[in-house]
Amino acid sequence: MYLRIRRILEGVFLRFQKRVIGLARFLRDYKIISFSILYIILDAVMITLLRNIKVSHTIGLLGMALLCIMFCKVGKKIKNKKGEISGRRGRQKKKKEWIGTIFELLFFVIITTLLVCLRITPVLRYEEDMQEKVLGFTNSSTILKGYIYDEPVEKHRSQQLVISVLEGELEGEGKVLPEGMLVQVKTASFYKFHLGQECELRGTLEEPENFEGFDYRAYLRDRKIFLLMNNPVVKCTSISERHHGSILRHGLVDMKNNLIEIIEEVLNEPQSSLLAGIIFGEKKLFSKFFDEGTRVAGLSHIVAASGYNVTILVVTTEKIFFFLPKKLRVIVGLIVIWLFAILSGLSSSIVRACIMGSISLLAIIFGRSNTVHVAIPLASALFVVAQPLIVFDVGFLLSLSAVLGLTYILPILLDLKAKVTKKFQFVDDNILPTLSCTLGTLPISILTFNTFSIWAVPSNTIILPIIDTTMFLGVLGIVAWNIFKPLSYIFFTITNMQLKYFEFVVNLIHSLDWGQFEFSGGASKFVSLTFLLMAILFIIYLYPIENEQYNYYLKSDS
Amino acid sequence: MNSITTILNLILKFLWKNILLIIFFLVGLFFVVVLRKTTILQPEIVFLDVGQGDAILIQQDNFQIVIDGGGDTSVLYGLAKHMPWYDKTIERLILTHPHQDHLEGLLLILKKYKVEEVWYFPVEYEYSGYEYLLKEYETLLQEVKAGDYIRYGDLYGIVLFPFEGDPQRVRNVNNASVVMFFEIDEYKILLMGDAEMEVEEKLLNYEFLHGIDILKVGHHCSNTSTSEELLSFTQPSIAICSCGILNKFGHPHYETLEKLKNENVQYLITHEEGDMKFVF
């Protein structure tokens, strides 16, 4: 018995070792993948480091690290020479190869670090600059003129605006606010605001404060907001006089809002907000009870701009145009998702999701399975280059981890299921993708929300099958609204029923009042890290590889 | 022949692939045809649980009257729950007085629903929401006074207070509340807004207020409202206190609840009962 267990364990270990080495070889060959992953990780590390340690210290540390490496290199070279003199050429050669690899790796890391530093320095300098400037503006009466920079966010007792300052002055002190500075404003929820509208605000500027263990300052800082203004007196110009910001974006957002108004005109709450969320990824306000319910049921991702709707679009176009050849279908899919991105006002999260979606579609066109392994890290790295602070954006991390879940966990689950039975196509189509997405996002959601709900998988399994038709019919309903209203009502009636079912599931799970576990801050970090490590290990061990015995990277002598 | 079979096969395949969609479509069609005609035939009144504030929905068929909107978004969810899903029009929106806990939600209703008319009594009061209402929704506003009425189906509602010529500048805005009396299918309902004892005195001349069925107690059951005289005069069967849990004013006040108990009036509090619906 003991021997058997030992043999099994040895087998597991050997397979694992082989795969880790294979992965290392693969990463060594595909430098673009390793570079992308490294860039993303170092971006997060360096930003955290540079924010907490003074710049001079970091430069000093980096310098010292460089010196250490140089000394090591010199030391090794001397050692190698000694080795050569004493003979035993074969072993020395292997050792030399290893040292070479390590140096290559270190060189790679240093170069990436330098690139990361070059990119993030201006961002951090701006942050530091603003933080210094902000100190002089707080707690005194201010009049500022600015334009609405971002779409207003509805809250239960108020709404939040982000204003980009055009001109502003502290009353009596003559201090001038820097132009282009962003200020987050809390105001009564009944006002109607539009993107780009110019407003004059009179109130007191305040610095954000952290609350209930949530680092609100850091959260706002990542959005380049350093000042708040609560309940100011607001006077805005009429909507027709919008001269600030991108006109294209205003037009698109207005169009999206008009379409959402159609939904609101036909459907009631929470159905209207749910549909707006599913179609446009628009984060609308639910009642507190329902909002908590969606979280407990693990269904918030459906209604938030998590890029989930892009995935649905791809799947739905695949279903509808199943008779077209594969490549043509992909092209139709691409057109549809980009039309959708435009319809949803080109909001950054949707654009991100569309880029990710396009990559996976293009991977199908090019038909090389490796393309997707390159495309995901490369695209993510490009996002990080464009916006270095994106690595702290929960939405980005969630959509990335969902894509990773679909790419790396889904094949494992499909493989395992195929070994058990080939029947029940429904499981392959619905349950397993949900499960892999949920598992993929688990570490991030535990880390961010400090909760873990056991309902996520069952509730998604019974909800997701209806969502694509909901979205499809919702869009048809909107289109039909301006052409023939009775037809539109037919579509919306079906959508309404499906969303009532959604509401029923959420309320049912919420009323059970069981199954959600909360972690404290420290514990959530530990649990999330454990999940992440376990996921990585499982993926390495179980990821199905075609013709494994002939795989170049897994051959023992390659 | 061959091509026809191929096309038929394709169609069958398409139908099979979208079977779920088709089922939903057919069921939806059924609902549209059969249930679209269903309306709320019987009149009903719903006292919505909107936290600390007032919001009352009275409806029959597709005719809705909403009195006040509470102080936050809760009213929107309440209306959504009780109104037919396809009906997004509110025929009459009545603002009793411009305090935040009555007006803010009402402004949100104006933002989200199509409203035909807003009834209000023009008092002088400084609140940004009130200014916004007067400026933005000027065309919908309709000034009311005692004697103005609404009639629809079995619903009959009349304004009892303020009287014509009452001053617009008042020390206490609560005492400029629009007080309404409804008679729905022989049931009598008195909605006091936030009116206090000072106003209650003036109502004691209305003979038809004897033996009312439902009293929406004034000012969230505060001790400034609901005099013993009013209770013994109106002799309500049920009293409704519309207030939020653990509110900073301490509503409902103990004294008021005691008075209701002494007069043998059954009282219901929104934060305990949730939305309260009476169908007539």
The DSSP string of A104-145 is HHHHHHHHHHHHHHHHHHHHHHHHHHHHHHHGGGTTSEEEEE
With cut-offs at 50, 70 and 90, classify the pLDDT of residue B192.
Answer: very high
Q: Which of A267, A465, A494 sits opposite B85 (nearest CB)?
A: A267
| Length in residues, chain B | 280
Q: CA of A190, closest CA in chain B: separation in Å?
A: 5
The DSSP string of A312-326 is HHHHHHHHHTTTS-H
> Mapped to the 3 state alphabet, what secondary structure does A406-426 carry?
HHHHHHHHHHHHHHHCCCCHH
Tokens 């001079």 belong to which residue?
A56
Q: What is the pLDDT of residue B66?
A: 96
Contact call for B132 and A191, based on CB within 8 A: yes
The secondary structure element, H or E, covering residue B64 is strand B63-67
Contact call for A497 and B27, based on CB within 8 A: yes
Contact call for A154 and B18, based on CB within 8 A: no
Q: Which of A265, A465, A496 sits opposite B20 (nearest CB)?
A: A465
Using an 8 Å CB-CB cutoff, list chain A residues near B25: 473, 490, 494
Contact call for B32 and A264, based on CB within 8 A: no
Give which of A156, A189, A268, A290 to mutate to test B binding, by max B Cβ within 10 Å.
Answer: A268
Could you tell me which residues are beta bridge partners of residue B120? Answer: B143
Rounded CA-CA distance A179/A485 in Å is 47
Q: What is the pLDDT of residue A64?
A: 64
Q: Do the interacting molecules here have an ipTM over 0.95?
A: no
Is B132 in the A-facing interface, judged by CB distances under 8 Å? yes
Q: What are phi and psi of A326, to 5 degrees?
A: -55, -45
Q: CA of B22, closest CA in chain A: separation in Å?
A: 10
Give which of A157, A190, A464 to mutate to test B binding, by max B Cβ within 10 Å.
Answer: A190
* Predicted confidence (pLDDT) per residue in B3-40, tens digit: 778 888 877 777 776 666 677 666 666 665 555 545 56
Per-position pLDDT tens, chain A of length 558: 788 888 888 888 888 888 888 888 888 888 888 889 999 998 888 888 888 776 666 676 677 677 667 666 665 665 565 555 555 555 666 666 677 777 777 777 888 888 888 888 888 888 888 888 777 777 778 888 888 888 888 888 889 999 888 887 777 667 777 788 888 999 988 888 888 888 888 888 888 888 776 778 888 888 888 888 888 888 888 777 767 777 888 888 888 888 888 888 888 878 888 898 888 877 778 888 888 888 888 787 777 656 666 777 777 777 777 777 877 888 888 888 888 888 777 777 778 778 877 776 776 666 556 677 888 888 888 888 888 888 888 878 887 888 888 888 888 888 888 888 777 776 777 677 777 877 888 888 888 878 788 888 788 777 877 887 888 888 889 989 888 888 888 888 888 888 888 888 888 888 887 777 777 777 888 888 998 999 999 888 888 877 766 777 776 654
> Mapped to the 3 state alphabet, what secondary structure does A285-298 carry?
CCCHHHHHHHHHCC
Using an 8 Å CB-CB cutoff, list chain A residues near B72: 156-157, 189
Could you tell me which residues are beta bridge partners of residue A233? Answer: A202
Using an 8 Å CB-CB cutoff, list chain B residues near A472: 21
Give which of B23, B27, B77, B115 to mutate to test A binding, by max A Cβ within 10 Å.
Answer: B77
Greater model confidence, B122 or A351: B122
Give which of B15, B73, B118 to mutate to test A binding, by max A Cβ within 10 Å.
Answer: B73
Q: What is the pLDDT of residue A72?
A: 65
Contact call for B25 and A264, based on CB within 8 A: no
B88 to chain A: closest CA residue: A265
Contact call for B10 and A192, based on CB within 8 A: no
Q: Report the sign of the C-alpha dihedral through residues A427, A433, A435, A436, in that order.
A: positive
Identify which of B36, B37, B89, B60 has the alpha carbon closest to the alpha carbon of residue B279.
B60
CA A462 from chain centre, in angstroms, equals: 24
Q: What is the pLDDT of residue B37?
A: 47
| A141-148/B155-161 β-pairing | unpaired
Contact call for B10 and A323, based on CB within 8 A: yes
Is B83 in the A-facing interface, judged by CB distances under 8 Å? yes
Q: What is the pLDDT of residue A67?
A: 67
Please give the structure tokens belonging to residue B196.
């206090």
Is B128 in the A-facing interface, judged by CB distances under 8 Å? yes
- Name the pTM for this structure: 0.79
Contact call for B72 and A156, based on CB within 8 A: yes
Q: Give the type of residue at A295.
A: R
Q: Assign B88 to helix, strand or coil.
A: coil
A472 to chain B: closest CA residue: B21
Q: Which of B72, B74, B85 sits opposite A268 (nearest CB)?
A: B85
B35 to chain A: closest CA residue: A493
* CB crowding A522-544: b at 16 or more within 10 Å, else e: eebeebbeebbeebeeebeebee
Rounded CA-CA distance B119/B268 in Å is 27
Using an 8 Å CB-CB cutoff, list chain B residues near A265: 88, 114
In total, the C-beta contacts within 8 angstroms joining chain A to chain B are 90
A469 to chain B: closest CA residue: B21
Q: What are phi and psi of A556, to 5 degrees?
A: -65, -25
**B194-197: which pairs have CB atoms within 8 A and are 24 or more residues apart?**
B194/B54, B194/B96, B194/B97, B194/B99, B194/B102, B194/B218, B194/B219, B194/B220, B194/B225, B195/B161, B195/B219, B195/B225, B196/B172, B196/B222, B196/B224, B196/B225, B197/B224, B197/B225, B197/B226, B197/B227, B197/B230
Is B17 in the A-facing interface, judged by CB distances under 8 Å? yes
Alpha carbon separation from A49 to A56, A120, A226, A356, B160 (Å, rounded) = 12, 12, 20, 29, 70
Rounded CA-CA distance A474/A468 in Å is 10
Identify which of B54, B36, B125 has the alpha carbon closest to the alpha carbon of residue B270.
B54
**Average pLDDT for residues B199-212, to the nearest whole number?**
89
Using an 8 Å CB-CB cutoff, list chain A residues near B85: 267-268, 271, 496
User: Any residues with CB less than 8 A from the CB of A153 and at least 6 apart, and which?
Assistant: A159, A160, A161, A283
Contact call for A156 and B73, based on CB within 8 A: yes
Q: What is the pLDDT of residue A55?
A: 64
Contact call for B28 and A267, based on CB within 8 A: no
Q: What is the pLDDT of residue B91?
A: 94
Q: Which of B76, B77, B86 sits opposite A266 (nearest CB)?
A: B86
Contact call for A188 and B128, based on CB within 8 A: yes
**Are A352 and A396 within 8 A, CB to CB?**
yes
Assign 3-state DSSP to chain A and report helix, strand, coil percentages, each to 5.
70, 10, 20
